[in-house]
Amino acid sequence: MLHKSEVWLVADSSPQNTEMVPVRRKKCYKPRRCPPEEEYKSLYRFKDENVKWTAAHVLPETEERRVGSQSSEDRMKIFQRYMADPGFETGIGEEIGVHQSTVSKTVTYVKKK
């Protein structure tokens, strides 16, 4: 059964050998946002260099090389933004430019470190 979100490609144009092959959609990432310097401390409760230092000393450098993967600094920013104002994860994700589930998983990951 075909779903509306699936894209299919006809592999052969002859009527007797027609085969439908699923085609993967291109992955789209939300653009990551960087706050202005004057808002940085109010959002994260630390200056930019302090966030970088904390990330370097608390979190190990990630081995992931995917296009959309988070660096240790990105994880620390999400964690500190959540701790500064533990409101709705969806709002924090929209401010930073990640999905709500990414905020939840990142906060849990950093808490365990």
Q: What residue segments make up the domains of the chain, in order of their start? A: 37-112
CA 52 to chain centre: 18
| Tokens 């104002």 -> residue | 85
Confidence at residue 108, expressed as pLDDT on a 0 to 100 scale? 92
Whether the Cβ atoms of residue 109 and residue 95 lie closer than 8 Å to each other: no
- State residue 43 phi and psi, 5-degree precision: -80, -40
In angstroms, the CA 35 to CA 28 distance is 22
pTM score, two decimals?
Answer: 0.61
**Cα-trace Rg, the chain:** 20
In angstroms, the CA 32 to CA 28 distance is 12
Tally of CB atoms within 10 A around 66: 8
Kindly give the confidence (pLDDT) of every residue in the chain, 113 residues in length, as a single tens digit, with 9 standing for 90 and above: 555 555 555 555 666 666 666 777 776 766 677 777 777 777 777 888 888 888 888 887 777 666 667 888 888 888 888 888 777 888 888 888 888 998 899 999 888 87
